[in-house]
Amino acid sequence: DSGSKEGPSQEEAPDVVEGDNELETDEGDAGGEKTIAFVPKQLGNPFFVAIKDAMEEEAGKEGYIFKTNAPDASTEVDKQINIAEAFIEEGVDALVLGPTDATALVDVINSAAEKGIAVFLVDSGADESDYVSYIGTDNYEGGILAAEWMGENVKGQVAIIDGFAGNEATTQRYKGFMDAIEEYPDIEVVTSDYGNGDLSMGMSVAENFLVAYPDLAGIFAVDDMMAIGAGQAVEAAGKKDSVKILGFDGQPDAAEKILEGTLDATIAQKPATMGRITVEFITAFLNGEKVDSFISTGCDIVDISNAELYKEWQ
Please give the residue ranges that form the binding site for another protein (CB under 8 A): 43-46, 48-49, 53, 67-73, 75-79, 81-83, 85-87, 89-91, 101-104, 106-107, 127, 164-168, 171, 191, 193-194, 198-200, 203-205, 207-209, 211-212, 214, 225, 228-229, 232, 236, 253, 256
Minimum distance of another protein from residue 80's CB (angstroms): 10
Minimum distance of another protein from residue 105's CB (angstroms): 8
Q: Which is nearer to another protein, 252 or 298 (CB)?
A: 252
Q: Which is nearer to another protein, 89 or 241 (CB)?
A: 89
Minimum distance of another protein from residue 253's CB (angstroms): 6
Q: Which is nearer to another protein, 142 or 195 (CB)?
A: 195
Minimum distance of another protein from residue 290's CB (angstroms): 30
Q: Which is nearer to another protein, 102 or 284 (CB)?
A: 102
Q: Which is nearer to another protein, 165 or 183 (CB)?
A: 165
Phi, psi dihedrals of residue 305, rounded to the nearest 5°: -70, -30
Minimum distance of another protein from residue 167's CB (angstroms): 8
